[in-house]
Amino acid sequence: MAAFRASDASRAPGTAGAAGTIVVRGLTRRFGPTVAVRPLAFELGPGGVTGLLGPNGSGKSTLLRMLLGLVPPDAGTASVDGVPLRGDGTAVRRRCPYLPGEVAVYGEMSGRAHLAWFLRGRERESRASAIGIATELGLPLERRVRGYSHGMKRLLLLAAALAPRARVRVLDEPTEGLDPSRRGQILGLLAREAKNGTTILLSSHHLGEVERVCDRVLFLRRGELLDEEQSRRLRRRAGRVVRVAWADPIDPAAAAGSLATRGAEDVRIEGGRATFVLPAGDPRRALAEILSARDLPAPTSLVYGEFSLHELYRALYGEEGV
Amino acid sequence: MRRHLGSLPIQVLAYFTLLELMLVAAILYWPNFRDNIDSLRALSGPIPALQDMLTQLEETGVVGYITGQHFFKGCNTLGCAAAVLFAVGAVAGEVHRGTLEIWLARPISRGRLLTERWVAGALALGLPIFASTATIPLLADRVDEVVDLAPMFLCAVHEWIFLLAIYSLSFLLSAVGSHPTKIALLVLFLSTFEFAIYMVKVWTQSSLFRLADIQDFVDIESARRLDWAILAPLLACIAVLYAAALFAFRRRVP
């Protein structure tokens, strides 16, 4: 991955955002009667990794595709790396490499030829860079792509998305289908990129990796972006999430009632385990009362106050999309 | 572009080979045909349109026979199939194999992507027609006939433009559709239907193939110039179909 040169900072006059930023103002998209993305507004960068989270169908991919001009928005404006989104977005895609969420490739091509195909329309050096990344990732570039596993195809797409010099990259589920070691390798690459000043917007279902690599998280639900304050409240709320396990299954109704009378919120009980949120006022006291309650058995394990995007996800969306 | 061209040369070679084989067989059969035309007319009794065609061939001689065999029969039938084959995969093929998003994700405008495919297919459609047409004088010489190449090339241009209209229709359907096989079957059905109509004497004038039949080619050959009364509307139709395909493609969502 080569960093963008400072000399590339030429800008079209009158563009909305600065170099290395993503600026979205009121982007909206409908598919028939369904509103896929409601009017959205946010600014990212310059620099840093932003994670886009949301359950399936929440509009993540549509939003990313709109930013790249692959899906024309019904309303609103956007600019990427200082270039306003216009027409079919060719100017934006020239400045911002994109990793598609769908892993689809031309099986009849070799890995090397495919990289060259992906990088058509970009500077020539990016091909050498892509071959370097692909080799580092252990891809057999002389083999036809039809013989690649799902994860290898994803890595090939990633090599093409990470190779061009760019200040902004948009990656739709970059580690989907990769084994844990490869996932770690890719996250390391992204973290290094961000450290060098690149703005990365990625969507993911791997909540752990979002926690690990992202310094900002955007939550989408039914095409709507939760505002930062709501997001902060939810993060704080996630800090009060308690998970308790008992040795034997308990009566769910009785246990839920007992927990609720002691201030527990959003109680969910499955078998011998319960997840709930402590009240905001005095969570420690509520926890002490719950642990000493005579109508509940003594727990065998308890997890409290551990920040977890997974729990945040559940608090936001319930079981949906987890 | 290079990826799209991948299997195209083989398809073009196969298309040319078939056209040429049909042309060789037809020209080598010419002396036999000329000597037995009365018997053939007797056999074609139940099909008045065919009888008219034979009369026409008798009047126009070897030129009418060759243009009929090569352009009206060979190019119209094989060319229709080739036009559909080269067009349907352009966009619908990408949708069908799930590669539309990666195709569009590169920093290349949609107008350029579509135009490259259209031009590649159009050239693939025309090249075998011109190449096989170029061999007509040599083959005619084998049966002691003299055929001038220049008017034959004008006939080839006429035929190519006629086939481009069918190609452009298939291309438009590919730009809006997602199932290349269904699109191919639809256009081939329509072409076959139009060809069938041509063979019904009272409906011949209503068939699209009336725009590229023996009479047209014989007229071009004798006038030694293109028939713009037919070609101008065809070119306008091609332009409209291409513009519609571009319009649809620009709104296409992966």
Residue of B nearest to A121 (CA): B107
The answer, yes or no, to whether residue B249 has pLDDT greater than 60, is yes
ipTM over 0.85: no
Rounded CA separation B200/B50 (Å): 9
Which residue from A313, A39, A61, A175 is spatially nearest to B101, judged by alpha carbons? Answer: A61
pLDDT value for A303: 82
Give the DSSP letter of residue A147: G
Interface mutation target, options A30, A88, A112, chain B, most CBs of B under 10 Å: A88
The strand pair at A224-225 and A34-44 is best described as: unpaired
For B17-40, the three-class secondary structure string (H helix, E strand, C coil) is HHHHHHHHHHHHHHHHHHHCHHHH
* Residue that has been written with the tokens 């190519």 in this structure: B160
CA distances from A228 to A39, A78, A216, A217, B73 (A): 15, 19, 10, 9, 70
Low-confidence ranges of chain A (pLDDT < 70): 1-16, 207, 230-232, 234-235, 238, 305-322
C-beta atoms of A104 and B3 within 8 A:
no
With bands split at pLDDT 50, 70 and 90, how would you rate the model's confidence at B169?
A: very high
Give the DSSP letter of residue A6: G
- Hey, what are A207's tokens? 């909540």
C-beta atoms of B101 and A100 within 8 A:
yes
Rounded CA separation A252/A247 (Å): 14
* Contact in structure between A28 and A74 (CB atoms under 8 Å): yes
Stretch B133-160: mean pLDDT: 96
3-state secondary structure of A28: strand
With bands split at pLDDT 50, 70 and 90, how would you rate the model's confidence at B212?
A: very high
pLDDT tens by residue, B170-203: 999 999 999 999 999 999 999 999 999 988 878 8
- Any A CB within 8 A of B110 CB: yes
The strand pair at A168-172 and A98-99 is best described as: parallel
Contacts of B99 in chain A (CB under 8 A): 104-106
* Contact in structure between A105 and A157 (CB atoms under 8 Å): yes
pLDDT tens by residue, B213-234: 988 999 999 999 999 999 999 9
C-beta atoms of B105 and A120 within 8 A:
no
- Hey, what are B54's tokens? 């034979």
Mean pLDDT, rounded, of chain B: 92
pLDDT tens by residue, A55-89: 788 899 999 999 999 999 999 999 999 999 999 99
* Residue that has been written with the tokens 């998209």 in this structure: A29
Which residue from A220, A183, A223, A228 is spatially nearest to A313, judged by alpha carbons? Answer: A220
3-state secondary structure of A319: coil
Rounded CA separation A139/A105 (Å): 15
The number of C-alpha atoms within 13 Å of A52 and in the hemisphere containing its C-beta is 28
- Hey, what are B60's tokens? 């126009």
pLDDT value for A295: 87
- Any A CB within 8 A of B99 CB: yes
- Hey, what are B74's tokens? 């060979």
Q: Which pTM was predicted?
A: 0.83
pLDDT value for A3: 42
Beta bridge partner(s), residue A51: A202, A217
The answer, yes or no, to whether residue B165 has pLDDT greater than 90, is yes
CA distances from B38 to A3, B42, B55, B214 (A): 81, 6, 10, 19
Rounded CA separation A9/A11 (Å): 6
C-beta atoms of B253 and A71 within 8 A:
yes
pLDDT tens by residue, B51-109: 777 887 778 889 999 999 999 999 999 999 999 999 999 999 999 999 999 999 999 99
Give the DSSP letter of residue A30: E
B133 backbone dihedrals φ, ψ, rounded to 5° = -60, -35
C-beta atoms of A105 and B2 within 8 A:
no
Rounded CA separation B145/B167 (Å): 34
The number of C-alpha atoms within 13 Å of B101 and in the hemisphere containing its C-beta is 19
pLDDT value for B5: 57
Which residue from B5, B62, B13 is spatially nearest to B37, judged by alpha carbons? Answer: B62
C-beta atoms of B108 and A98 within 8 A:
no
Residues 7 to 26 of B: which have CB under 8 A from any A CB?
Answer: none
* Residue B214 zone, left/alpha/beta (φ > 0; ψ -120 to 50; rest): alpha
3-state secondary structure of B101: helix
Chain A nearest C-alpha distance from B239 (Å)? 22
Interface mutation target, options A70, A108, A145, A165, chain B, most CBs of B under 10 Å: A70
C-beta atoms of A72 and B251 within 8 A:
yes
Tell me which residue in B6, B107, B250 faces A121 most closely, judged by beta carbons: B107
Task: Quote the strand ranges of A131-264, DSSP E.
Answer: 168-172, 199-203, 216-221, 224-225, 241-245
Type of residue found at B140: A
* Contact in structure between B129 and B136 (CB atoms under 8 Å): no
- Any B CB within 8 A of A120 CB: yes
Rounded CA separation B129/B132 (Å): 5
